[in-house]
Amino acid sequence: GRKEKAIEQLISTPQGPKQDANHLLACLVAASISPEKLADTVESVVLRFIADDRIDEAVELLCVIGRGVEACRVLQDKGRWMEAASLASTLPVSPSDRSFILRRWATYLSQNNQKMKAAQVHLSLGEYETVVQILTDNNKHLLAGLFIAACSELNLLSSSSRRASSTLQTCMDILFRVGCAEGYAYYTSLLSSFKQAGVNEVA
């Protein structure tokens, strides 16, 4: 009807002093029709903002209407990863949504040869097994061993972790080859504790 046509005309307003006011008016008209129409109109306005490279305005609008996760994804799609992570930490989004946003960042970092930064993101998520995996995959076995030792002190890693046990064995082999008896003895003891704890878990 007439309202729908008016909304289309208002949304299509070119960049200029009247654009923001007309976009707001389009949303108000849509709200008078139905919640569904308002949602569709807001989506159209957001897409228009993005097309005009007005990312901040698009993100702000998405946050106002409670679509924070989508706002974070818009920032990520524009390469503004740190801002997206910061926004995710301040918005009232669910833990699972926040984790999704951060994992998406970690994936990007891994794909762009920033493995250690990716490990830091996974660490912030409490994904300790993944941190160990990243370190060992990048031949940082002794660093992984120290991390496992720290996690062991705080009971943050499952004693049934095969990767942790394998990493500790690798650390022992490295330290044995370089003649570091004290370090070798430490990791031998730690590995023994892991194996015993694993037996106890099964029992």
Instruction: Report pLDDT digits (tens) over 89-123.
Output: 888 888 999 999 999 999 999 999 999 999 999 99
Residue 197 confidence class, pLDDT cut points 50, 70, 90 = low
Q: How far apart are CA 173 and CA 167, in angstroms?
A: 10
Average pLDDT, the chain: 87
Q: How far apart are CA 17 and CA 20, in angstroms?
A: 7
Q: How confident is the model over 72-78, as a mean pLDDT? A: 95
> Which pTM value belongs to this model?
0.78
How much is the pLDDT for 199? Answer: 39
Q: How many CB atoms lie within 10 A of CB 76?
A: 19
Q: How far apart are CA 183 and CA 60, in angstroms?
A: 53
Instruction: Report pLDDT digits (tens) over 125-141.
Output: 999 999 999 999 999 99
How much is the pLDDT for 16? Answer: 79
Q: Measured between alpha carbons, how far apart are the two ends of the chain, in Å?
A: 71
- DSSP per-residue codes, 156-193: -S-TT-HHHHHHHHHHHHHHHHTT-HHHHHHHHHHHHH
